A and B are shown apart, each in its own frame.
Chain A
Amino acid sequence: MKKIYIIILTLSMSLVSCDQWLEIEPEYTQDAENFFNTEEDFQRAVIGVYDLMQTNYLQIWIGEIASDNSIAGGESVNDTQGLHEIDNMTHGGVNNELRDVMRFNYAGIARANFIFENENKIDFASKERLMAEISFIRAYFYFTLVNYFGDVPLIVDRRISINEVFQSDRTPKIQIFEQIESDLDRAIQVLNWTNPELGRITKGAALALKGKVLLYQQKFSEAAQVFDELISTNQANYALISDMNTMWLAVNQNRSEDVFTIQHSGLQGGDYGCLVCLQGNPAVGFHSIRNYVGPFYADGNSYNLPTQDLYDFFGNDPRRQVTILDLDAFIATQPNPTDISYAVGGGGHTGYYNNKYIKRADERGLPDDDLTSQLNYRAIRFADVLLMAAESFAQSGNDARARTELNKVRQRAGVGDITSSGAQLLEDIYRERRLELSGEGYRFWDLVRTGKAAEAISGFQVGKHELFPIPQVEIDLSGGRWAQNPGY
């Protein structure tokens, strides 16, 4: 019997010792809890934060479609339904595009916070610069969220657990702006005017975004100060590109006018199910002409189509053809117009297309050029800086300086100087913004912050549509603790 006891004992012992065989690690992959051990780890994580900025197609769409500049378009009214609802000011808490805005920006914030959480783990030469870059990007994400949704939960410098979601309230906007400004200050202090690595965030970008953030808060004199620093110091040699007719071509990317530009590549694919996965700019293919067979342009999904109102607004301003493709007029000027064909989408047709972000025959991406385009998104370009500066100076009583900055933009366009002052000057600046910047995703925000949305956008209700609704599903997933924005 003793033998039996020994066997039983041995079996039990072997079990205890076997449990340690269960301690295996995933191989050749890094673990979230054991990352940030080298400079390269930090650099790679920072790429992940930059990546989320490439969701800017939503900014180009919503900023234009919500405004009087364009209609949603597409194959049918069910094609990206959320955009059609925004177009008609009938949007509510169920809207995939608005949900994406919230998800993507918070994904970017979470990625940045994950790095901040580990900021003190090791020291290395480029650390300050990298942290400054992601400070900027986090500020940009929060700025987007606050514009869309107003008060949003402020989470900084660490990841949160699923249970903490149920304790996270919407933080007052003012505190979000404080965080944005402090993040931007960090970027301004640390970053250089230029970075040999094209596409990195620079001091100029940080100054420009800081000025914009102040302007949006109507802190005009502070904004004027920041823009002045940018324009006067200008160690990056920012300047307007002289030929505005070619400035939107791929060959003219990352030039003197690019202050804050989100980079895209035409060399990596993806699919319709995951636009956030793309390195290309999907807005470009989506904007293009449905079933187009003809020269210069290429076929696409007929999204975000400029309105007749915008077309007429230009009058004889030469920027009309820069901004808008009048397709039938273009076809009529071609050698064999009858050989050119295109289709009209069921989601609406105006005859006009976004001529800045559009697929051109020699700028196709690989492998699916409807999704992949190399065209960068100029989030803030120097003309915008000048116009925002003009507005800030005008609002803070310096009309002369305001006219100077405004007329730089007009001179490049080849239109006469503005000589007005006071309220008229401000109006002229607002008009100039539409002439210069239409098709780039700012129009809706300009209308809202200047109080002109109700008169320009049919269906716009004051006190409601300044903010978009918080996606209902997000309210539900927060445990129902967030109140919906007013009016929704």
Chain B
Amino acid sequence: MKRILWLILTMGIHFGISAQSGMITGRVVDDSGETLPGVNILKVGTATGTITDLDGNFTIEGKVGDELQFSFIGFQSQTLRVGSNLTLNVTLQSDISSLSEVVVVGYGTATKKELTGAVAQVQGEDVAKMNMPRLDQALQGKISGVNITTNSGAPGGTSNIRIRGLGTFGNNNPLILVDGVIFDAAGLNSLNPNDIETINVLKDGTAGIYGVRAANGVIIIETKKGSLNSKASLEFSAYYGVQETARKLNLLNAREYAILKNEAFAAGGMAPPFNNVNLGTGTDWQNEVFETAPIQEYNLTVTGGSEKTSYSIGGSYFGQQGIVGGPKSNFERYNARINFVTELAPKVKLTSVFLYTHEQASGIAQGGIGSVLFNTINAYPTEPVFVGDRFSYLENVADIINPLAQIENTFNETSVNKIVGKEEISYQINEHFSLNGRAGYNFALVDGKSFSPLAWFGPGKFANSARNANLDPVLVDVGGTLIERGASVFENRDSFLDYNLESFLNYDRRFQDIHRVKGTLGVSYFGNRNLGLNGTAFNIPNNDLAFADISASQAPGGFLNQTGSFQTRQRLVSAFIRGEYELKGKYMFSAILRRDGSTNFGPNNRIGYFPSLSAGWVLSDEDFFGNSSVVDFLKLRASFGVSGNDQIGLFRYRGQMNGLARYPFNDFIINGAAIGATSNPDLKWETTLQTNIGLDFTLWRSIDFTANYFIKDTRDLLFQPAVSALLGSYGPGGSPPVINAGNVSNKGLELEIGYGTQKATGVNFRIDYNATFIRNRVTKVPDGLDFIPGAGFSVGGNIATRFQEGFPIGYFIGFQTDGIFQSQEEIASSPVVQEGARPGDLRFVDANGDGVINFSDDSDRTFIGSPIPDFIMGLNLAMDFKGFDISANVYAAIGQEIIRNYERQQPFANQLAYNVNRWTGPGTTNEIPRLTTGQTRNTVFSDFYVEDGSFVRLRNVQLGYTLPEAITGRIGIRSMRFYVAANNLITLTRYMGFDPDVGSGNPLFAGVDNGIFPQARVIMGGLNFRF
């Protein structure tokens, strides 16, 4: 970090100040005695100054009595009077508070002291240290206001990044820029966390410098760069870990299963299926399916620089297998990176970034019915895994198949080749102006193939692709002729290209020592081009993976084979201007205006203007504040800004002939053309207005505190409201026009507190804590639309989540329960009529008070939970002493609910063990309803299926030891560290499912647990060497 800063400073000062040959010389070292290059030295009251060289030495013209000010980022400034011997050896005290850290804020940088907006930064090393496959996973709990939820713990599984709550039911992903190049959230898989220098998050209205893309916040990632004039330094790091599931569900064993099923069948008026219930434990399907699986990573980085050129070159391999599916659920990543900065000519610098990634991934079916884990949970324990030499059929449940047979028959492979790069030229025009021009690209080529062999999972199984156990192909009637449909292969080749051209002029000038004016003026062009081609071919010879390619298809006449393609384009043309003014270093003002033109909108609303204003006031620099020995620093910040979201679909403003039009003539279906969505030429972006008030202070030079309160209102959400039949929008494939209506509000409080200490005894300690409280509400949906339905409960069940005015996005709606009916008398005497209720049934609450539980409409369904936590928090601890280091990362999400949606309501499906405590007679329980195969309302969506999803998780804990340099130096190793670590070692939760961290890309499906692939518990050992 120091070296980078030195570089920046050098670049900044080089042009304005030329070192004089002089008489005052000296050396600057830090408190540990190490020399400090790049320290800024200014003769007080003049414009004369210099910086220290690589060895910390400096020379400056001066005389006795001159005052020299020594300043360096990360250290406390010192002012010294030149004594008689004209030699000054200076020791700078490190400044543990983070005020002087440089944060990237979009087309520029600022120190934390200068910031007027809500911006957070995480260092790359803190991310890499987590040993998480993906960068966003490592960010969980690191930054206040940023909520990371997990879609799947499978290798290559994705997460969701939500900055300051959910603003829309559509795309809530932040804008992610890697060295200025757009990355989509899914594409983060390709990034090696070890390649990252810093992650900067713009959370408030000041993100408006990115205008129509900034409504969900902006994440700016900088990759590692080398430093000038530094010897090549080589780092090698590696770890190897073993993963296992952190939890298995508590399911019925064979004996319990038999007893409970007998009871349920008898209650349903059917013959009990088991004559003998003493069946022992039976098959534990989870034991059969879960396995331990390896995870490993190897990294090599070389950095260094000559006088005019610096470089950072890296290579890495990451490999992870799944705790379900093993090699069938696999993710591997190879990275190569060359970052290169050079001086092309005096004052002209070239920054070149090149990242290459190769990914190789395969996966098993996940999420809901048909997935491996859903089958595992619901497969019954009385069935063995094998019958003879074949997999068992689980014949009693039509849509549950043997999960091991399923894994066996899963074949897919995706490979991604991705190159990301940037070429940037910076030209320092004069001491005040600099010009930057850059071109970036992010190109990914994705090749996928999946093979569906002829498979037979048992009679009547929906997953069968064969006609019978002999794997005879299904016969399909094509124009009266029967043809065989054999094994098939699906192949796709998609390419995704994001590119950008940007150019901006920066201005920075001080006037009379007290005024500082900064300005940025720039233009930007972002483009996106995605292309895809895919095909499915049937009748692969011999039902054999070896022939799984479209070229091997033996399908007659091409009747079965299918092809498809897609192509999309988006463009964004922008200009931006930012003015900043700082008075006496304690009053800061900043104003931003961005103009965006987005191709996602029609000519009526193509161009948008996005302003933001912000200000900061360093109270601690005021005279009235005095010289507090406690409060070293105190700053107030306020910002207001407007930003937009244009990620609301392509060409939604215009009517296209993409409706359905089909009719048979001569008994052949003829395809025609009709209007799809009715056009709305006035369609525009979703608009977010955000106000932020922040407070930063530092106590005793060691405690940093930041608080932000924000109000974020998102307006003009996209809706397709009901429209009059007269418009003709309700034909097949037709839909009403998309309009801008509807509002969402997020209000929240973010707190960050950090404490660090360095003791002379050699004990260093750092603790950081952050907490975020967010209140999310839908404040308006358009007329004619009561709500947007979200996720369904159970198979073919009611809609369980909604987007509705007055409620959080994706809240759960269902029946509230009030215990169990204990007897017929209780039902009879109940003031509320609950049709079909029997003793042992859930007693529902009559929400509308009409004396009847209405199952046929929504009048008694009510709010029974929300997937949005009341607050989230993160705790990071680090300590080192004499070569030993220990660190821990804890994350907690409190107050959210989860829908338990992985229980298959089928007579023979296995059940969770809580059913052992079911109602069996008056007084047995008031919580768990009776079991029956008969008609019951106990299976409709109610709060019985909603659980508290709060959890606290020890995400990473690490113990390391660095060998003394005295020993390692002898073998030429500068630093040698070994460590053991564990991820997800402990999770405290009352939730019954595999993993309470249940996310979804679609906010209306958040918190619905369809049997999520859990995040593994990993025990690993690793090493970091520096040469």
Interface residues of A (CB under 8 A from B): 3-4, 7-8, 11-12, 14-15, 18-19, 21-22, 24, 26-33, 35, 41, 43-48, 50-54, 78, 81, 99, 102-104, 106-111, 113-114, 153, 155, 159-160, 162, 165, 168, 197-200, 263-265, 267-268, 274, 276-277, 279, 366, 471, 473-474, 476-478
A479 — nearest CB in chain B belongs to which residue?
Answer: B724
Known: A22-B597, A47-B671, A165-B726. A29 touches B731 (CB 8 A): no
Structural contact, A277 and B733, CB atoms closer than 8 A:
yes
- Please tell me which one of the listed residues A8, A162, A265 contacts residue B669 in the complex, with CB atoms under 8 A apart: A265
User: What is the CB-to-nearest-CB distance from A75 to chain B, in angstroms, rounded to a whole number?
Assistant: 12
- The answer for the CA separation of A153 and B598 in the assembled complex, in Å, is 39
Known: A46-B672, A263-B663. A366 touches B477 (CB 8 A): yes
Structural contact, A198 and B731, CB atoms closer than 8 A:
no
- The answer for the CA separation of A24 and B575 in the assembled complex, in Å, is 20
User: What is the CB-to-nearest-CB distance from B935 to chain A, in angstroms, rounded to a whole number?
Assistant: 9
Structural contact, A268 and B662, CB atoms closer than 8 A:
yes
CB neighbours of A15 from chain B (8 A): 523, 573, 575, 595
Determine whether B82 belongs to the interface, using a CB cutoff of 8 Å to chain A: no
- The answer for the CA separation of A478 and B429 in the assembled complex, in Å, is 64
Structural contact, A31 and B664, CB atoms closer than 8 A:
no
A105 — nearest CB in chain B belongs to which residue?
Answer: B725
Structural contact, B672 and A160, CB atoms closer than 8 A:
no
Determine whether B433 belongs to the interface, using a CB cutoff of 8 Å to chain A: yes
A32 — nearest CB in chain B belongs to which residue?
Answer: B655
Structural contact, A474 and B575, CB atoms closer than 8 A:
no
Determine whether B346 belongs to the interface, using a CB cutoff of 8 Å to chain A: no
Determine whether B144 belongs to the interface, using a CB cutoff of 8 Å to chain A: no
Structural contact, B523 and A14, CB atoms closer than 8 A:
yes
Interface centre among B429, B658, B672, B728 (most CB of A within 10 A): B728
Interface centre among B477, B650, B724, B734 (most CB of A within 10 A): B724
Task: Knowing that A51-B661, A102-B725 touch, tell me 17 more A-B residue pairs with CB under 8 angstroms.
Answer: A7-B429, A8-B505, A22-B571, A33-B679, A45-B672, A47-B670, A47-B671, A51-B672, A107-B731, A107-B734, A108-B728, A110-B727, A153-B726, A162-B727, A199-B663, A199-B664, A477-B725
- The answer for the CA separation of A352 and B661 in the assembled complex, in Å, is 36
Structural contact, B664 and A279, CB atoms closer than 8 A:
yes
Structural contact, B673 and A4, CB atoms closer than 8 A:
no
A364 — nearest CB in chain B belongs to which residue?
Answer: B477
Structural contact, B673 and A47, CB atoms closer than 8 A:
yes
- The answer for the CA separation of A476 and B435 in the assembled complex, in Å, is 59
- The answer for the CA separation of A366 and B733 in the assembled complex, in Å, is 20
Which residues 945-962 of B have a CB within 8 angstroms of A?
A: none
Structural contact, B505 and A43, CB atoms closer than 8 A:
no
Structural contact, B727 and A165, CB atoms closer than 8 A:
yes
Structural contact, A24 and B725, CB atoms closer than 8 A:
no
CB neighbours of A18 from chain B (8 A): 523, 525, 573, 597
- The answer for the CA separation of A43 and B657 in the assembled complex, in Å, is 13
CB neighbours of A32 from chain B (8 A): 654-657, 675, 679
Structural contact, B656 and A26, CB atoms closer than 8 A:
yes
- The answer for the CA separation of A265 and B671 in the assembled complex, in Å, is 13
Known: A32-B655, A32-B656, A103-B730. A41 touches B673 (CB 8 A): yes
User: What is the CB-to-nearest-CB distance from B604 to chain A, in angstroms, rounded to a whole number?
Assistant: 13
Q: What are 29 A-B interface contacts by the 8 Å CB criterion?
A: A4-B429, A14-B503, A14-B523, A18-B525, A19-B573, A21-B573, A24-B571, A24-B599, A26-B654, A28-B567, A29-B658, A32-B654, A33-B679, A44-B671, A48-B659, A48-B672, A50-B672, A51-B660, A106-B725, A107-B725, A111-B674, A111-B675, A198-B665, A199-B663, A199-B664, A263-B663, A274-B732, A277-B732, A474-B725
Hey, what's the 0/1 contact readout for B730-758 against A, CB within 8 Å counting as 1? 11111001000000000000000000000
CB neighbours of A11 from chain B (8 A): 503-505, 521-523, 575
A-B CB pair tally, cutoff 8 Å? 210
Per DSSP, chain A at the interface is helix
Structural contact, A31 and B663, CB atoms closer than 8 A:
no
CB neighbours of A265 from chain B (8 A): 664, 667-669
Structural contact, B650 and A35, CB atoms closer than 8 A:
no
- Please tell me which one of the listed residues B477, B569, B665, B728 contacts residue A197 in the complex, with CB atoms under 8 A apart: B665
User: What is the CB-to-nearest-CB distance from A163 to chain B, in angstroms, rounded to a whole number?
Assistant: 11
Which residues 480-510 of B have a CB within 8 angstroms of A?
A: 503-505
User: What is the CB-to-nearest-CB distance from B576 to chain A, in angstroms, rounded to a whole number?
Assistant: 10
- The answer for the CA separation of A265 and B435 in the assembled complex, in Å, is 66
Interface centre among A29, A107, A265 (most CB of B within 10 A): A107
User: What is the CB-to-nearest-CB distance from A168 to chain B, in angstroms, rounded to a whole number?
Assistant: 6
A275 — nearest CB in chain B belongs to which residue?
Answer: B732
Which residues 518-548 of B have a CB within 8 angstroms of A?
A: 521-523, 525, 527
Known: A11-B505, A26-B650, A31-B655. A160 touches B727 (CB 8 A): yes
User: What is the CB-to-nearest-CB distance from B548 to chain A, in angstroms, rounded to a whole number?
Assistant: 24
Interface residues of B (CB under 8 A from A): 429, 433, 435, 476-477, 503-505, 521-523, 525, 527, 567, 569, 571, 573, 575, 595, 597-599, 606-607, 650-651, 654-675, 679, 722-734, 737, 784, 855-856
- The answer for the CA separation of A198 and B669 in the assembled complex, in Å, is 12
Structural contact, B732 and A198, CB atoms closer than 8 A:
no
Q: 10 shortest A-B CB distances, which residue pairs?
A: A110-B728, A47-B672, A48-B661, A48-B674, A32-B655, A107-B731, A103-B730, A44-B673, A50-B663, A44-B672
Structural contact, A51 and B664, CB atoms closer than 8 A:
no
Structural contact, B523 and A106, CB atoms closer than 8 A:
no
CB neighbours of A162 from chain B (8 A): 723-724, 727, 737
- The answer for the CA separation of A200 and B656 in the assembled complex, in Å, is 26
Structural contact, B728 and A45, CB atoms closer than 8 A:
no
Structural contact, B725 and A103, CB atoms closer than 8 A:
yes
Known: A30-B657, A366-B477. A4 touches B505 (CB 8 A): yes
Structural contact, B671 and A27, CB atoms closer than 8 A:
no
Known: A4-B505, A11-B505, A44-B661. A159 touches B728 (CB 8 A): yes
- The answer for the CA separation of A473 and B784 in the assembled complex, in Å, is 8
B432 — nearest CB in chain A belongs to which residue?
Answer: A4
Structural contact, A168 and B726, CB atoms closer than 8 A:
yes
- The answer for the CA separation of A257 and B784 in the assembled complex, in Å, is 46
B733 — nearest CB in chain A belongs to which residue?
Answer: A277
CB neighbours of A103 from chain B (8 A): 725, 730
Structural contact, B505 and A199, CB atoms closer than 8 A:
no
Structural contact, A33 and B655, CB atoms closer than 8 A:
yes
B476 — nearest CB in chain A belongs to which residue?
Answer: A366
CB neighbours of A108 from chain B (8 A): 728, 731
Known: A104-B730, A197-B665. A43 touches B656 (CB 8 A): no
Structural contact, B573 and A200, CB atoms closer than 8 A:
no
- Please tell me which one of the listed residues B433, B569, B722 contacts residue A24 in the complex, with CB atoms under 8 A apart: B569
User: What is the CB-to-nearest-CB distance from A432 to chain B, in angstroms, rounded to a whole number?
Assistant: 32
A78 — nearest CB in chain B belongs to which residue?
Answer: B856
- The answer for the CA separation of A7 and B434 in the assembled complex, in Å, is 11
Known: A45-B661, A54-B663. A19 touches B597 (CB 8 A): yes
- Please tell me which one of the listed residues B606, B657, B722, B723 contacts residue A31 in the complex, with CB atoms under 8 A apart: B657
- The answer for the CA separation of A386 and B523 in the assembled complex, in Å, is 77
Interface centre among A48, A108, A165 (most CB of B within 10 A): A48
User: What is the CB-to-nearest-CB distance from B719 to chain A, in angstroms, rounded to a whole number?
Assistant: 13
User: What is the CB-to-nearest-CB distance from B741 to chain A, in angstroms, rounded to a whole number?
Assistant: 13
- The answer for the CA separation of A11 and B663 in the assembled complex, in Å, is 55
CB neighbours of A114 from chain B (8 A): 675, 728
Known: A31-B655, A162-B737, A265-B664. A48 touches B569 (CB 8 A): no
Structural contact, A279 and B567, CB atoms closer than 8 A:
no
- The answer for the CA separation of A173 and B874 in the assembled complex, in Å, is 70
Known: A14-B523, A198-B667, A279-B662. A45 touches B722 (CB 8 A): no
CB neighbours of A51 from chain B (8 A): 660-663, 672, 674, 731-732
CB neighbours of A52 from chain B (8 A): 731-732
CB neighbours of A21 from chain B (8 A): 525, 527, 571, 573
- The answer for the CA separation of A170 and B573 in the assembled complex, in Å, is 47
A41 — nearest CB in chain B belongs to which residue?
Answer: B673
Interface centre among B504, B571, B667 (most CB of A within 10 A): B667
- The answer for the CA separation of A31 and B730 in the assembled complex, in Å, is 18
